[in-house]
Amino acid sequence: MTEDVELLDDLLRLCAAAGAEPEVHHGPPGRRGGWERAPMVLVGDDAAARCRGAGRRKGVMLVGRDQDDPDVWRRAVEIGAEYVLRLPDSEGWLVDQIANAAEGVGRPALTVGVMGGRGGSGASTLACALAVSAARSGRRAMLIDADPLGGGIDVLLGGERAEGMRWPDFAQSKGRLGGGALEDSLPALHGLRVLSWGRDDEVVIPPQAMRAVLAAARRLGGVVVVDLPRRVDEGVAEALAQLDLGLLVVPGELRAVAAAKRVASTVGMVLDDLRVVPRGPYASGLDGRWVARATGLPLVGELPLEAGLLVSQDEGTPPGGSARGPLARFCSAFWEQVAAAGDASPVSRPPEGGTA
């Protein structure tokens, strides 16, 4: 709502960048319910006085350019604005909010990263099983392979020939990706969407591309599982920064525990919530609780062995695909555990350039 031609041009440009089609008014819409039903209301400084009589609602933002306007806060209170935004400083944040409103974004996805304490620990198998288990329970699920040297997690799901985009298609992504567009572009396997690597291309994913993809995946809601490498480069650090919690899979061997402690030390510089998943068989004198104490990490539970896993995979059943198998039961118990503990509420991130 504005009659300021220059401000309107800016807001139309931001709406176009967010993929949203706005309605433009000089004041509150004349038709009944227009003010109340809109997912977001942007009120220009010049139109604030005309909006004083409108009903109070969420999602009202007062937008202008004057950085030193002493009366802006009074006008914001009068119309019940949640945020006061000054352009151009708040443009990036405002584009995200407009796009979220256009997509109908609700609760962000619970985002879980899985990594191995050493090579061959079974982290990718657990990541697949967690995603498959989440999808089977009715959750919206996405599995993201963040390990370019892992051979492609779509192979574990039997989907290496499935149609859809892979990481090389997103390597140059910057800014904001639409969550729905990302989901629709990825292979659909076993009830979930999967972002894996191409077969031939060796691609380095810049941190801005990792940020864009994971942010889009999180906005879809449900569950996002990220299969992570043991090394931490800039792209992996960006992925770690967007996780709600991480799982470190550690075989029950002294050497594996020693290696896992180094991984945990590096990952812990970025990720606050890292937990351990010990995996047997154990060396003499070791058990899951000992591994947890030795790594100094909270114990999630012991990853069970599942006989015939490779045979089942060759027959088209992915890890965790058999609902009665021990791996699937472990994953189901994990999802129930984090939901009961309140871990399904991802950390909130403060707005950049917006002032509450």
Tens digit of each residue's pLDDT (9 = 90 or more) over 236-247: 999 999 999 999
Residues 316, 191 share a domain: yes
The domain containing residue 182 runs over which residues?
110-340
Please state whether the peptide bond connecting residue 251 to the residue before it is cis, i.e. omega within 30 degrees of 0.
Answer: no
Give the closest residue to 128 by CA, choosing from 343, 320, 346: 320
Burial (Cβ within 10 Å: 0-12, 13-18, ≥19) of residue 314? exposed
Q: Quick one: pLDDT at residue 96?
A: 82
Tell me, what CATH number does 83's domain have? 3.40.50
Answer whether residue 355 is part of any domain. Answer: no
Residues 294, 153 share a domain: yes
Tens digit of each residue's pLDDT (9 = 90 or more) over 262-305: 999 999 999 999 999 999 999 998 999 999 999 999 999 999 98
Residues 19, 148 share a domain: no
Answer whether residue 237 is part of any domain. Answer: yes
Portion of the chain with pLDDT greater than 70, in percent? 93
Tens digit of each residue's pLDDT (9 = 90 or more) over 58-77: 899 999 998 888 899 999 99
Last residue of a domain, one of 76, 104, 132: 104
Tens digit of each residue's pLDDT (9 = 90 or more) over 91-149: 988 988 888 888 776 688 999 999 999 999 999 999 999 999 999 999 999 999 999 88
Q: Quick one: pLDDT at residue 202?
A: 65
Portion of the chain with pLDDT greater than 90, in percent? 63
CA dihedral for 340, 298, 216, 355, sign (positive or negative): positive
- pTM for the predicted model, two decimal places: 0.75
Residues 216, 99 share a domain: no
Tell me, what CATH number does 228's domain have? 3.40.50.300
Last residue of a domain, one of 84, 104, 124: 104
Three-state SS annotation for 25-83: CCCCCCCCCHHHHCCCEEEEHHHHHHHCCCCCCCCEEEEECCCCCCCHHHHHHHHCCCE
Residues 119, 83 share a domain: no
Asked whether the predicted pLDDT for residue 345 surpasses 50, the reply is no
Radius of gyration of the chain, Cα coordinates, nearest whole angstrom = 24
Residues 239, 148 share a domain: yes
